């Protein structure tokens, strides 16, 4: 269990230092985060949406909540790696819509994203 916590800590630190380019992350962080799930607010990252959809879970197979316009401000609350190893970020847009956005559809403005 200590090893798992250490790996999650390393992944979170790497994310804080290098954005979303974390290699070798474990999909175990997504345990309990399927379609319809929500994250919790433990991060201070602010992003701009490049292009993308907000979904109700951390997977492309989850239901789309809405399309998000390019340049929309997205306040990241936390992130998880899904079973495919892709980082999804939970948070809210500047107009208070909440949901999951694939990390590759975001550009970081400031702060860091911590694992949910």
Q: Per-residue pLDDT averaged across 5-26, rounded?
A: 38
pTM equals: 0.73
Tens of pLDDT along 58-100?
Answer: 999 999 999 999 999 999 999 999 888 899 999 999 899 999 9
Average pLDDT, the chain: 78
Higher pLDDT among residues 109 and 5, named by residue:
109
Q: Per-residue pLDDT averaged across 15-22, rounded?
A: 38
Q: Is residue 82 within 8 Å of 58, Cβ to Cβ?
A: yes
């Amino acid at each position: 269990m200590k090893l798992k916590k250490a790996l999650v800590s390393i992944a979170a630190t790497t994310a804080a230092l290098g954005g979303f380019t974390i290699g070798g992350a474990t999909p175990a962080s997504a345990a309990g985060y399927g379609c319809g799930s929500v994250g919790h607010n433990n991060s201070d990252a602010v992003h701009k949406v490049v292009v993308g959809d907000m979904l109700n879970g951390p997977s492309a197979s989850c239901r789309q909540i809405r399309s998000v316009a390019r340049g929309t401000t997205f306040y990241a609350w936390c992130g998880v790696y899904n079973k495919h190893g892709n980082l999804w970020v939970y948070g809210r847009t500047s107009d208070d819509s909440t949901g999951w956005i694939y990390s590759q559809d975001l550009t970081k403005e400031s702060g860091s994203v911590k694992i949910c």
